[in-house]
């Protein structure tokens, strides 16, 4: 569906998407549902919305958690941006977290260009667009910083614990919190446009599909709201809690629960397409790779489900491995750390290569090519340098979930190295020591 590109219409859509009272003059062009919670908010001095504790005025300025006469700068330290490298003229920049700092890194320059302390190694605290990175710190302060220049655009203090990765939607950020309050924030200014108190606490991210806003609540309830009317389109209740963000692919929603079951729902109707008993609670992120869904369970177990039916295709057990953040997806494959770095065929579970062997093979191939081309033999010092800087192996675990950008995957390992993996070449193209 296509929507009017005007600012008013997009604001109305977002408000209805999360069932919050619109405060726009253009609201009369939409049909409002006949419920108290989503009727237009009159002028001031109204009681709080039922069950939310949020008055219309509070939507623009959420209640503060600071004692009277004090503000956040009095209670919490101010984190400043540190420029740590000359800015390259262009290229690809990406954010990552290490030892409590959020960094911006230039692929072309091969170095970090700025950083800011966020208080800890938070899990998925950031998202990005073409130019900016949006992230939060341990005090639930939300920032927007120019990823290239390292300049602060805005900072917004939220009074609730943020959970899940902030979601970029059109000109706004959707930020879920543990208490169930969802913030809609204007990306350009950091202004809080709306707040909405949902149907329970949230421990995962929100999903947007066409005109639907889909919220996974921790109690196992998945609710889809229609942005055109504000009505609930469908709601589904799993029998266990949900702590992992669902994945949307090809108009189906995939998620697992602590009831030892994995689900596939039709995104339009919420009807169950299939369920699969997996014998364990789903507590880790899973991968959707073309025709397969790869689950990582306790005690080193990998379970592959057929995406079309939910049938178990294969089970692999790596008994000495505790899966946490030590895996990521390729094109038709998955990669795991055991701690040796291994590529696995997603469809069959067969090992495609062990990177230690692959790297050594490519090194020998390079030496052979040099010999055929009559290039002067490498000195022992050159060989050591090549093995250390180019044909190295990776045998340490990522400290946080690996991230994808422009055909690359990057992560920082527990020995404080940043690695960049080229999915097209199936080769590590960067090893950067974090000092």
Q: Is 411 left (phi over 0), alpha (psi -120 to 50) or beta?
A: beta
Q: What is the pLDDT of residue 420?
A: 97
Q: Does the pLDDT of residue 36 top 80, yes or no?
A: no
Q: What is the pLDDT of residue 227?
A: 62
Q: What is the pLDDT of residue 53?
A: 37
Q: Does the pLDDT of residue 7 top 70, yes or no?
A: no
Exposure class string for 352-368: b at 16+ Cβ within 10 A, else e: beebeebbeeebeeeee
How far is Cα 192 from Cα 267, in angstroms, rounded to an integer? 28
- pLDDT class of 369 with cuts at 50, 70, 90: confident
> Among 108-117, 273-282, 368-377, where is mean pLDDT lowest?
368-377
Which of the residue ranges 189-198, 219-228, 333-342 has the most confident prediction, judged by mean pLDDT?
Answer: 333-342
Q: Does the pLDDT of residue 47 top 60, yes or no?
A: no
Q: Does the pLDDT of residue 112 top 60, yes or no?
A: yes
Q: Does the pLDDT of residue 10 top 70, yes or no?
A: no
Structure tokens at 385: 């340098």
- Which comes out higher in pLDDT, residue 54 or 152? 152
- CATH class of the domain comprising 353-435: mainly beta
| Stretch 212-216: mean pLDDT | 90
For 238-259, the pLDDT digits (tens) are 999 999 999 999 999 999 999 9
- Which comes out higher in pLDDT, residue 275 or 365? 275
* Phi, psi dihedral angles at 380 (to 5 degrees): -60, -35
Q: Where are the domains of the chain?
A: 353-435
How wide is the angle at C-alpha 155 spanned by C-alphas 37 and 103, nearest 5°? 125
Q: Does the pLDDT of residue 230 top 90, yes or no?
A: no
For 371-406, the pLDDT digits (tens) are 777 777 888 888 888 888 999 999 899 999 999 999
262 in Cβ contact with 276 (< 8 Å)? yes
What value does the mean pLDDT of the chain take?
83
For 72-105, the pLDDT digits (tens) are 555 789 999 999 988 888 889 999 999 999 999 9
User: Which residues, 6 or more positions from 313, have their beta carbon under 8 angstroms from its beta carbon?
Assistant: 292, 304, 305, 306, 347, 349
- Which comes out higher in pLDDT, residue 28 or 345? 345
Q: Does the pLDDT of residue 50 top 80, yes or no?
A: no
Q: Does the pLDDT of residue 225 top 50, yes or no?
A: yes
Q: Does the pLDDT of residue 292 top 80, yes or no?
A: yes
- pLDDT class of 165 with cuts at 50, 70, 90: confident
CB atoms within 10 A of CB 204: 20
Give percent of the chain with pLDDT exceeding 70: 82
């Amino acid at each position: 569906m296509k929507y009017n590109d005007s600012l008013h219409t997009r604001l109305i859509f977002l408000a209805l998407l999360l069932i919050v009272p619109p405060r726009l003059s253009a609201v009369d062009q939409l049909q409002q549902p006949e419920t108290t919670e989503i009727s237009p908010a009159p002028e001031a001095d109204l009681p709080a919305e039922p069950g939310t504790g949020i008055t219309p005025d509070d939507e623009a300025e959420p209640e503060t958690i600071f004692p009277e006469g004090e503000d956040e700068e009095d209670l919490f330290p101010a984190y400043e941006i540190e420029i740590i490298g000359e800015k390259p003229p262009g290229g690809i920049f990406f954010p990552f977290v290490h030892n409590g700092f959020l960094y911006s890194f230039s692929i072309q320059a091969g170095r970090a260009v700025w950083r800011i302390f966020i208080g800890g190694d938070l899990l998925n605290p950031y998202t990005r667009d073409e130019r900016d990175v949006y992230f939060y710190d341990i005090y639930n302060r939300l920032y927007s910083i120019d990823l290239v220049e390292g300049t602060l655009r805005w900072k917004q203090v939220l009074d609730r614990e943020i959970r899940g990765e902030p979601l970029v939607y059109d000109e706004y950020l959707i930020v879920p919190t543990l208490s169930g309050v969802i913030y809609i924030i204007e990306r350009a200014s950091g202004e809080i446009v709306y707040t909405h108190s949902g149907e329970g606490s949230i421990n995962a991210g929100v999903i947007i599909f066409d005109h639907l806003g889909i919220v996974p609540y921790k109690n196992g309830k998945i609710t889809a709201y229609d942005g055109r009317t504000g009505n609930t389109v469908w709601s589904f209740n799993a029998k266990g809690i949900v702590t992992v963000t669902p994945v949307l692919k090809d108009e189906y929603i995939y998620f697992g629960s602590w009831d030892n079951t994995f689900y596939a729902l039709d995104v339009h109707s919420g009807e169950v397409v299939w369920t699969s008993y997996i014998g364990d609670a789903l507590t880790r992120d899973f991968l959707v790779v073309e025709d397969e869904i790869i689950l990582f369970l306790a005690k080193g177990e990998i379970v592959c489900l057929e995406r079309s039916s939910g049938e178990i295709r294969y089970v692999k057990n790596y008994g000495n491995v505790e899966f946490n953040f030590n895996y990521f997806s390729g094109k038709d494959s998955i990669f795991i750390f055991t701690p040796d770095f291994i590529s696995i065929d997603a469809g069959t579970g067969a090992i495609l290569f062990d990177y230690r062997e692959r790297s050594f093979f490519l090194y020998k191939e390079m030496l052979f090519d040099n010999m055929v081309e009559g290039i002067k033999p490498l000195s022992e010092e050159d060989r050591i340098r090549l093995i250390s800087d180019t044909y190295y192996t990776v045998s340490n675990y990522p400290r946080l979930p690996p991230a994808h950008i422009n055909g690359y995957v990057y992560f920082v390992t527990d020995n404080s190295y940043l690695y960049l993996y080229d999915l097209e070449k199936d080769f590590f193209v960067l090893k950067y020591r974090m000092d």
